[in-house]
């Protein structure tokens, strides 16, 4: 049987490649995104696989439940939900401007929760489904270069931990997909190195991790081995390593 998949933040590079992977194996998709032109282009590319679309600003929190209802109506039900939107904020700006900090936290945490509440309640009532959220390795340790963004992603991971245990008795699985840096338009201005992932490969990895029902997956996979070291370094040593604790 084909899957009915809701993709939130569908026009991001990684989510777009995940949508292509699902469409290629016969899934039916409902796409939600900010940019109407890019959303229309992706829907045209995927053709009959797309059962419907919705456009909106994810920081308009009261619209999230409406988008989920629209997806369920178009698809018949939601088997898989991928929450993939976010904002890579300017760290220095968030240190001096509470509005900038609030935008980052809303885009990366609160808006995800706004979607997770109706998705989780719907799947729990049905007794099946898979929920996945793109978080970040930045949430595993506060670093001067991105700690506002990282804090919001860590909050999302903590929320997913609790949600996973809550939904376990109902048969709904919850997946925390922790991304390392990926070569996408979001990181266009960032210096690249060998640890940057390829967006197409990571997008396919998202689908694979959900298929394998991994509670927590690192994408690219190399971060599975790097992050325990970063996470457990003693603070005095961490602060003396500029490549970790520098700007």
CATH code of residue 69 = 3.40.50.720
Give CA–CA dist 95/156, Å, rounded: 21
Q: Which of 7, 1, 32 is nearest to 132 (CA)?
A: 7
Q: Spell out the SS3 assignment of 52-97.
A: EEEECCCCCHHHHHHHHHHHHHHHCCCCEEEECCCCCCCHHHHHHC
Q: Which domain holds residue 88?
A: 4-245
Length of the chain: 247
Give the CA count within 13 Å in the CB-facing half-sphere of 204. Answer: 6
The domain total for the chain is: 1
Digits of tens for pLDDT over the chain (247 positions)? Answer: 589 999 999 999 999 999 999 999 999 999 999 999 999 999 999 999 999 999 999 999 999 999 999 999 999 999 999 999 999 889 999 999 999 999 999 999 999 999 999 999 999 999 999 999 999 999 999 999 899 999 999 999 999 999 999 999 999 999 999 998 887 666 656 666 667 778 999 999 999 999 999 999 999 999 899 899 989 999 988 888 887 777 7
Instruction: Tell me what pLDDT residue 171 has.
Output: 96
In this structure, the number of other CB atoms found within 10 A of the CB of residue 97 comes to 12
Residue 85 zone, left/alpha/beta (φ > 0; ψ -120 to 50; rest): beta
């Amino acid at each position: 049987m084909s899957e009915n998949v809701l993709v939130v933040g569908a026009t991001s590079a990684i989510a777009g490649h995940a949508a292509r992977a699902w469409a290629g194996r016969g899934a039916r998709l409902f796409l939600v995104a900010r940019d109407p032109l890019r959303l229309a282009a992706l829907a045209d590319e995927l053709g009959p696989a797309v059962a419907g679309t919705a456009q909106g600003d994810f920081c308009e929190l009261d619209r999230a439940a409406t988008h989920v209802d629209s997806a369920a109506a178009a698809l018949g039900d939601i088997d898989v939900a991928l929450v993939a939107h976010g904002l890579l904020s300017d760290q220095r700006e968030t240190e001096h401007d509470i509005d900038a900090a609030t935008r980052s936290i809303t885009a990366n945490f609160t808006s995800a929760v706004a979607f997770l509440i109706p998705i989780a309640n719907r799947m729990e009532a049905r007794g099946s489904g898979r929920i996945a959220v793109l978080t970040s390795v930045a949430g595993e340790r506060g670093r001067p270069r991105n700690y506002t963004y990282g804090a919001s992603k860590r909050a999302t991971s903590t929320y997913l931990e609790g949600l996973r245990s809550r939904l376990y008795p109902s048969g709904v699985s919850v997946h925390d997909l922790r991304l390392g840096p990926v070569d996408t338009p979001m990181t266009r201005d960032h210096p690249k190195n060998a640890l940057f992932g390829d967006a197409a490969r990571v997008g396919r990895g998202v689908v694979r991790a959900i298929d394998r029902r991994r509670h927590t997956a690192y994408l690219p996979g190399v971060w599975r081995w790097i992050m325990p070291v970063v996470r457990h370094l003693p603070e005095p040593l961490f602060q003396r390593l500029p490549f970790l604790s520098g700007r």
